[in-house]
Amino acid sequence: MNVLIITYSQDNESIPMVMEAIANRGGKAFRFDTDRFPTEIQLDVYYGKNERLILTDGDQQLDLNTVSAVWYRRIAIAAQIPPTMDTQLRQASMQESRVTVLGMIASIRGFHLDPLPHIRRAENKQLQIQIAREIGLDTPRTLTTNNPIAVKQFAEECEQGIITKMLSSFAIYDEQGQEKVVFTNPVTPEDLQHLDGLRFCPMTFQEKIPKALELRTTIVGKQIFTAAVDSQALKTAQYDWRKEGIALLDAWQPYQLPEDVESKLLKLMAELGLNYGAIDILLTPDNRHVFLEVNPVGEFFWLERCPGLPISQAIADFLLNKK
């Protein structure tokens, strides 16, 4: 069986983990680094007397008609087109490369984990909360707005305070090229007096939820893998464990979710049309499991090392069994 893994050249160790697991099961994985197309990787899509769909990377060739399964991980199409190229021509080249690759993905007849349209729909955090509430998952009070008055009213409603976060993942780079990621942060009374910037960019606000543990649940098909970390052990990680992600790498422990929570999470995945998802949950001191969000192509690699969850093996099995 041939499995196509769609990613980019700077992706993390989850790719070789899954490729190795596929090889150990007798399958063959072909890695497509989308940032290297069209500068290094070639694609032939021919419809004439015969149909020919060939992806070529150096001395490796893949007949896309032989692909039994597709794992969509990351995408950075045409990222290696030289920035010195004329701006208009570069934009045109990137756009044409993008529609070419997306058309290729859509035309592959094999099993997709997950179909790209499902991923794009499921990435909508507002939709996630709406569905989660409908199926009975515990969710925090949430406000997304560009209206300062609405934020102040929301803050008054939330007795324990509020936090702010972004719906999209991005980073800002300073003059030295240092990456500055936007994490979850508390909103102070002083912040509420300086909300004019909302007219340029909406933000999402949530009630502050007391934490006993932060959970990461990874779902592959019907298999559920959950790990927990005590983010409150480090002051700088109390609002977002990712701020001390490296320091907490060895602190994750296996965790068993209640059966009813697992059942609702599987229902959420079904409603979103996903076979894979990485879900963030808070465990409160009074034992509530509060759903935050699901990442349709979320990371899992660090959980393979500690606490040793066999997620890459589950992905390989799912891709090869096409269920």
**Contacts with 300 (C-beta within 8 Å, 6 or more apart), sequence order:** 14, 218, 225, 278, 309, 311, 312
CATH number, domain of 164, equals 3.30.1490
The whole-number pLDDT of residue 194 equals 95
- HSE value, Cβ hemisphere, 13 Å, CA-based, for 180: 6
Q: Does residue 48 lie within any of the structural domains?
A: yes
Q: Model pTM?
A: 0.93
Segment among 35-44, 166-175, 187-196, 197-206 with least mean pLDDT: 166-175
Residues 58, 9, single domain; the answer is yes
Mean pLDDT of all residues in 30-34: 98
Q: Does residue 132 lie within any of the structural domains?
A: no
The whole-number pLDDT of residue 236 equals 84
CA–CA distance, 3 with 55 (Å, rounded to integer): 13
Domain boundary among 207, 231, 257: 207
pLDDT band at residue 73 using 50, 70 and 90 as cut-offs: very high
pLDDT band at residue 285 using 50, 70 and 90 as cut-offs: very high
Segment among 183-187, 235-239, 272-276 with least mean pLDDT: 235-239
Domain housing 31 = 2-113
How many separate domains does the chain show? 3
Residues 6, 109, single domain; the answer is yes
Q: Is the pLDDT of residue 323 over 70?
A: no
Structure tokens at 182: 């936007």
CA–CA distance, 321 with 323 (Å, rounded to integer): 6
Establish whether the linkage from the previous residue to 114 is cis, with ω within 30° of 0. yes
pLDDT band at residue 239 using 50, 70 and 90 as cut-offs: confident
Mean pLDDT of all residues in 155-173: 87
3-state class (DSSP) for residue 209: coil
CA–CA distance, 212 with 99 (Å, rounded to integer): 46
pLDDT band at residue 242 using 50, 70 and 90 as cut-offs: confident
The whole-number pLDDT of residue 143 equals 98
Mean pLDDT of the chain: 95
Paired sense of beta strands 2-7 and 67-72, if any: parallel
Ordered DSSP codes for 87-98: HHHHHHHHHHHH
80-84, 164-168, 233-237: which has the highest mean pLDDT?
80-84
C-alpha angle 13-17-18 in degrees, rounded to nearest 5: 120
Structure tokens at 263: 């059942």
Q: Does residue 20 lie within any of the structural domains?
A: yes
Residues 107, 11, single domain; the answer is yes
Residues 33, 83, single domain; the answer is yes
Residues 303, 216, single domain; the answer is yes
The whole-number pLDDT of residue 174 equals 72
CATH number, domain of 104, equals 3.40.50
Q: Does residue 182 lie within any of the structural domains?
A: yes
Q: Does residue 25 lie within any of the structural domains?
A: yes
Q: Does residue 315 lie within any of the structural domains?
A: no
Residues 64, 148, single domain; the answer is no
The whole-number pLDDT of residue 178 equals 73
Paired sense of beta strands 111-113 and 67-72, if any: parallel
Q: Does residue 134 lie within any of the structural domains?
A: no
Domain boundary among 159, 183, 207: 207
CATH number, domain of 269, equals 3.30.470.20
